[in-house]
Protein backbone atom coordinates (compact mmCIF):
# COMPACT_ATOMS: atom_id res chain seq x y z
CA UNK A 1 0.00 0.00 0.00
CA UNK A 2 2.61 2.53 1.16
CA UNK A 3 6.35 2.04 0.91
CA UNK A 4 9.11 4.41 1.93
CA UNK A 5 12.44 3.55 0.41
CA UNK A 6 15.56 5.17 1.85
CA UNK A 7 13.87 8.52 2.41
CA UNK A 8 16.10 11.38 3.56
CA UNK A 9 14.62 14.78 4.41
CA UNK A 10 16.41 18.08 4.73
CA UNK A 11 13.69 20.67 5.30
CA UNK A 12 13.58 23.80 3.18
CA UNK A 13 15.51 26.67 4.84
CA UNK A 14 17.63 24.18 6.78
CA UNK A 15 20.82 22.25 6.20
CA UNK A 16 20.06 19.65 8.85
CA UNK A 17 19.13 16.09 7.94
CA UNK A 18 16.03 15.43 10.08
CA UNK A 19 15.01 12.10 8.50
CA UNK A 20 17.80 9.83 7.39
CA UNK A 21 17.51 6.81 5.07
CA UNK A 22 14.08 5.78 6.35
CA UNK A 23 12.39 2.70 4.89
CA UNK A 24 9.20 0.96 6.01
CA UNK A 25 6.02 -0.49 4.55
CA UNK A 26 2.35 -0.18 5.48
CA UNK A 27 0.24 -3.01 4.11
CA UNK A 28 -3.34 -2.91 2.92
CA UNK A 29 -5.84 -2.45 5.80
CA UNK A 30 -2.96 -2.44 8.26
CA UNK A 31 -2.84 -0.25 11.35
CA UNK A 32 0.84 0.70 11.53
CA UNK A 33 2.13 2.55 14.59
CA UNK A 34 4.93 5.06 14.09
CA UNK A 35 6.61 5.68 17.45
CA UNK A 36 9.65 7.51 18.74
CA UNK A 37 10.65 10.30 21.10
CA UNK A 38 9.83 13.99 20.60
CA UNK A 39 11.76 15.35 17.65
CA UNK A 40 12.59 11.92 16.17
CA UNK A 41 11.00 12.86 12.85
CA UNK A 42 7.53 11.27 12.97
CA UNK A 43 5.57 14.32 11.82
CA UNK A 44 8.20 15.10 9.20
CA UNK A 45 7.80 11.61 7.74
CA UNK A 46 4.02 12.18 7.68
CA UNK A 47 4.48 15.51 5.87
CA UNK A 48 6.80 13.92 3.30
CA UNK A 49 4.28 11.14 2.65
CA UNK A 50 1.55 13.76 2.19
CA UNK A 51 3.79 15.87 -0.05
CA UNK A 52 3.90 19.08 1.99
CA UNK A 53 6.25 21.71 0.67
CA UNK A 54 9.52 21.88 2.56
CA UNK A 55 9.55 18.13 3.22
CA UNK A 56 10.25 16.75 -0.23
CA UNK A 57 12.77 13.90 0.14
CA UNK A 58 16.32 14.92 -0.68
CA UNK A 59 16.90 11.25 -1.47
CA UNK A 60 14.74 8.17 -1.69
CA UNK A 61 11.26 7.35 -2.96
CA UNK A 62 7.72 7.03 -1.68
CA UNK A 63 5.42 4.50 -3.34
CA UNK A 64 1.66 4.39 -2.85
CA UNK A 65 -0.46 1.65 -4.39
CA UNK A 66 2.35 0.65 -6.75
CA UNK A 67 2.94 4.19 -7.97
CA UNK A 68 5.96 6.38 -7.29
CA UNK A 69 4.36 9.46 -5.68
CA UNK A 70 7.60 11.16 -4.62
CA UNK A 71 7.08 14.09 -6.99
CA UNK A 72 3.28 14.38 -6.85
CA UNK A 73 1.50 17.38 -5.32
CA UNK A 74 -0.61 17.21 -2.17
CA UNK A 75 -3.76 17.42 -4.28
CA UNK A 76 -2.67 14.58 -6.53
CA UNK A 77 -1.87 12.42 -3.51
CA UNK A 78 -5.20 13.24 -1.90
CA UNK A 79 -6.92 12.19 -5.11
CA UNK A 80 -5.09 8.85 -4.96
CA UNK A 81 -6.53 8.29 -1.49
CA UNK A 82 -3.96 9.63 0.97
CA UNK A 83 -5.09 11.87 3.84
CA UNK A 84 -3.56 13.37 6.96
CA UNK A 85 -5.14 14.53 10.20
CA UNK A 86 -2.94 17.16 11.76
CA UNK A 87 -1.23 16.95 15.12
CA UNK A 88 -2.47 20.51 15.78
CA UNK A 89 -5.92 20.61 14.21
CA UNK A 90 -6.71 23.71 12.21
CA UNK A 91 -9.32 26.06 13.62
CA UNK A 92 -12.62 26.00 11.84
CA UNK A 93 -14.68 28.65 13.59
CA UNK A 94 -17.75 30.11 11.95
CA UNK A 95 -19.13 27.23 9.87
CA UNK A 96 -21.18 24.19 10.79
CA UNK A 97 -19.59 20.81 11.33
CA UNK A 98 -21.42 19.50 8.28
CA UNK A 99 -20.00 22.30 6.10
CA UNK A 100 -16.54 21.72 7.48
CA UNK A 101 -16.60 18.02 6.61
CA UNK A 102 -18.16 18.70 3.22
CA UNK A 103 -15.42 21.20 2.35
CA UNK A 104 -12.92 18.34 2.16
CA UNK A 105 -14.96 16.19 -0.25
CA UNK A 106 -15.50 18.23 -3.38
CA UNK A 107 -18.01 15.94 -5.02
CA UNK A 108 -19.47 14.82 -1.74
CA UNK A 109 -23.11 14.72 -0.77
CA UNK A 110 -24.76 15.04 2.61
CA UNK A 111 -24.98 11.27 2.90
CA UNK A 112 -21.21 10.97 3.20
CA UNK A 113 -21.14 13.60 5.92
CA UNK A 114 -23.80 11.68 7.85
CA UNK A 115 -21.96 8.38 7.46
CA UNK A 116 -18.67 9.88 8.59
CA UNK A 117 -20.22 11.45 11.68
CA UNK A 118 -21.91 8.19 12.60
CA UNK A 119 -18.61 6.32 12.21
CA UNK A 120 -16.86 8.56 14.72
CA UNK A 121 -19.75 8.27 17.17
CA UNK A 122 -21.31 11.72 16.73
CA UNK A 123 -25.09 11.61 16.18
CA UNK A 124 -25.46 13.15 12.67
CA UNK A 125 -28.80 14.86 13.45
CA UNK A 126 -27.28 16.62 16.37
CA UNK A 127 -23.84 17.50 15.04
CA UNK A 128 -24.07 18.20 11.29
CA UNK A 129 -25.86 21.51 11.87
CA UNK A 130 -23.97 22.49 14.99
CA UNK A 131 -21.43 25.32 14.73
CA UNK A 132 -17.84 24.13 14.72
CA UNK A 133 -16.74 26.51 17.44
CA UNK A 134 -15.14 26.70 20.86
CA UNK A 135 -18.20 25.14 22.47
CA UNK A 136 -17.01 21.74 21.24
CA UNK A 137 -15.07 19.74 23.78
CA UNK A 138 -11.54 18.58 22.95
CA UNK A 139 -12.83 15.05 22.38
CA UNK A 140 -15.62 16.24 20.07
CA UNK A 141 -13.12 18.33 18.12
CA UNK A 142 -10.94 15.25 17.56
CA UNK A 143 -13.93 13.28 16.37
CA UNK A 144 -14.91 16.02 13.92
CA UNK A 145 -11.34 16.04 12.55
CA UNK A 146 -11.47 12.30 12.18
CA UNK A 147 -14.90 12.46 10.51
CA UNK A 148 -13.49 14.92 7.96
CA UNK A 149 -10.74 12.45 7.09
CA UNK A 150 -13.10 9.47 7.00
CA UNK A 151 -15.47 11.34 4.67
CA UNK A 152 -12.67 11.55 2.09
CA UNK A 153 -12.77 7.74 1.91
CA UNK A 154 -9.00 7.36 1.87
CA UNK A 155 -7.00 4.21 1.20
CA UNK A 156 -4.58 5.33 3.87
CA UNK A 157 -5.13 7.80 6.65
CA UNK A 158 -2.25 9.27 8.57
CA UNK A 159 -3.20 10.23 12.11
CA UNK A 160 -0.65 12.36 13.91
CA UNK A 161 -1.19 11.78 17.62
CA UNK A 162 -4.97 11.37 17.60
CA UNK A 163 -4.69 10.58 21.31
CA UNK A 164 -2.96 13.80 22.37
CA UNK A 165 -5.03 15.87 24.74
CA UNK A 166 -7.52 13.09 25.33
CA UNK A 167 -8.52 12.03 28.79
CA UNK A 168 -7.14 8.63 29.81
CA UNK A 169 -10.70 7.33 30.12
CA UNK A 170 -11.45 7.83 26.44
CA UNK A 171 -8.49 5.85 25.06
CA UNK A 172 -10.69 2.79 24.80
CA UNK A 173 -13.25 4.79 22.85
CA UNK A 174 -10.58 6.04 20.46
CA UNK A 175 -9.33 2.52 19.85
CA UNK A 176 -12.84 1.23 19.32
CA UNK A 177 -13.48 4.06 16.89
CA UNK A 178 -10.31 3.43 14.88
CA UNK A 179 -11.04 -0.30 14.77
CA UNK A 180 -14.58 0.46 13.56
CA UNK A 181 -13.33 2.87 10.88
CA UNK A 182 -10.88 0.30 9.59
CA UNK A 183 -13.50 -2.44 9.65
CA UNK A 184 -16.21 -0.42 7.92
CA UNK A 185 -14.09 1.45 5.38
CA UNK A 186 -11.13 -0.88 4.84
CA UNK A 187 -8.66 1.98 5.17
CA UNK A 188 -5.09 1.46 6.31
CA UNK A 189 -3.94 3.72 9.15
CA UNK A 190 -0.49 5.14 9.87
CA UNK A 191 -0.86 5.92 13.54
CA UNK A 192 1.66 8.29 15.10
CA UNK A 193 1.49 7.96 18.85
CA UNK A 194 3.34 8.32 22.12
CA UNK A 195 0.97 6.03 23.96
CA UNK A 196 1.36 2.32 24.46
CA UNK A 197 -2.41 1.90 24.89
CA UNK A 198 -2.88 3.23 21.37
CA UNK A 199 0.06 1.42 19.81
CA UNK A 200 -1.24 -1.84 21.23
CA UNK A 201 -3.98 -1.91 18.61
CA UNK A 202 -1.48 -1.77 15.75
CA UNK A 203 -0.74 -4.76 13.50
CA UNK A 204 2.83 -3.57 12.95
CA UNK A 205 5.08 -0.76 14.09
CA UNK A 206 8.17 1.26 13.26
CA UNK A 207 10.45 3.03 15.73
CA UNK A 208 12.09 6.28 14.67
CA UNK A 209 15.13 7.39 16.62
CA UNK A 210 16.98 10.58 15.73
CA UNK A 211 15.53 10.49 12.25
CA UNK A 212 16.38 6.86 11.56
CA UNK A 213 14.48 3.58 11.72
CA UNK A 214 15.75 1.70 14.73
CA UNK A 215 13.26 -1.17 14.46
CA UNK A 216 10.27 -2.39 12.44
CA UNK A 217 8.20 -5.35 13.56
CA UNK A 218 5.24 -6.08 15.76
CA UNK A 219 4.42 -3.51 18.41
CA UNK A 220 5.90 -5.52 21.30
CA UNK A 221 9.23 -6.00 19.51
CA UNK A 222 9.35 -2.34 18.63
CA UNK A 223 8.62 -1.28 22.22
CA UNK A 224 11.39 -3.59 23.46
CA UNK A 225 13.82 -1.91 21.09
CA UNK A 226 12.53 1.46 22.27
CA UNK A 227 13.17 0.57 25.93
CA UNK A 228 16.66 -0.66 25.11
CA UNK A 229 17.43 2.51 23.19
CA UNK A 230 16.36 4.58 26.20
CA UNK A 231 18.42 2.19 28.30
CA UNK A 232 17.22 3.20 31.72
CA UNK A 233 14.81 0.89 33.46
CA UNK A 234 13.72 3.40 36.06
CA UNK A 235 12.37 5.73 33.38
CA UNK A 236 10.56 3.07 31.42
CA UNK A 237 6.92 2.36 32.07
CA UNK A 238 6.40 -0.02 29.18
CA UNK A 239 4.85 -3.39 29.92
CA UNK A 240 7.11 -4.73 27.17
CA UNK A 241 10.33 -3.52 28.77
CA UNK A 242 12.87 -6.37 28.60
CA UNK A 243 15.27 -4.81 31.09
CA UNK A 244 15.41 -6.14 34.65
CA UNK A 245 13.99 -3.74 37.23
N1 LIG B 1 10.76 22.85 8.62
C2 LIG B 1 11.72 22.53 9.48
N3 LIG B 1 12.88 23.23 9.54
C4 LIG B 1 13.83 22.90 10.42
N5 LIG B 1 13.75 21.87 11.28
C6 LIG B 1 12.62 21.14 11.27
C7 LIG B 1 11.56 21.42 10.37
N8 LIG B 1 10.57 20.53 10.60
C9 LIG B 1 11.01 19.73 11.58
N10 LIG B 1 12.23 20.09 11.99
C11 LIG B 1 13.03 19.44 13.06
O12 LIG B 1 13.10 18.07 12.78
C13 LIG B 1 13.06 17.30 13.97
C14 LIG B 1 11.89 16.32 13.87
O15 LIG B 1 10.68 17.02 14.00
P16 LIG B 1 9.26 16.29 13.95
O17 LIG B 1 8.23 17.32 14.15
O18 LIG B 1 9.19 15.47 12.72
O19 LIG B 1 9.36 15.33 15.22
P20 LIG B 1 8.25 14.40 15.90
O21 LIG B 1 8.84 13.03 16.00
O22 LIG B 1 6.96 14.55 15.19
O23 LIG B 1 8.16 15.01 17.37
P24 LIG B 1 6.90 15.13 18.37
O25 LIG B 1 6.75 13.79 19.02
O26 LIG B 1 7.36 16.15 19.38
O27 LIG B 1 5.70 15.56 17.60
C28 LIG B 1 12.92 18.30 15.11
O29 LIG B 1 14.19 18.54 15.63
C30 LIG B 1 12.37 19.54 14.42
O31 LIG B 1 12.76 20.72 15.07
MG1 LIG C 1 5.09 15.30 15.72
Classify strands 212-217 and 19-26 as parallel, antiparallel or unpaired: unpaired
Cα of 23 from ligand 1 centre, angstroms: 18
Q: Where are the domains of the chain?
A: 1-81+158-245, 90-153
CB of 18 closer than 6 angstroms to any ligand 1 atom: yes
CB of 34 closer than 6 angstroms to any ligand 1 atom: no
Tell me how far CA of residue 14 lies from CA of 11, 18, 44, 181, 217, in angstroms: 5, 9, 13, 38, 32
21-61 pLDDT tens trace: 999 999 999 999 999 999 999 999 999 999 999 999 999 99
Cα of 194 from ligand 2 centre, angstroms: 10
How far apart CA 28 and CA 46 sit, in angstroms, is: 17
Contact 140, 122 (CB under 8 A): yes
Residue ID of nearest Cα to ligand 1 atom 3: 11
Number of helical (H) and strand (E) elements in the chain, helices listed first:
9, 10
Contact 199, 35 (CB under 8 A): yes
Tens place of pLDDT for every residue, the chain, 245 residues? 999 999 999 998 899 999 999 999 999 999 999 999 999 999 999 999 999 999 999 999 999 999 999 999 998 999 999 998 765 555 666 789 998 888 878 766 788 999 999 999 999 999 999 988 888 888 888 888 899 999 999 999 999 988 877 666 677 888 888 999 999 999 999 999 988 989 999 999 999 999 999 999 999 999 999 998 988 766 677 889 887 76
Q: What is the CATH number of domain 1-81+158-245?
A: 3.40.50.300
DSSP state of 131: B
Amino acid sequence: MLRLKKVTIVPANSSEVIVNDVSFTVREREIHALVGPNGSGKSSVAYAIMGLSGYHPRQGHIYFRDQDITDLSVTERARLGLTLAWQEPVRFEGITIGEYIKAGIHDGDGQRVQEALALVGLAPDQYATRKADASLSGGERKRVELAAVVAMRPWLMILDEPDSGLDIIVYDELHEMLARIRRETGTAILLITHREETGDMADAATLLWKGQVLKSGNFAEVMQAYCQAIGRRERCRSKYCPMPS
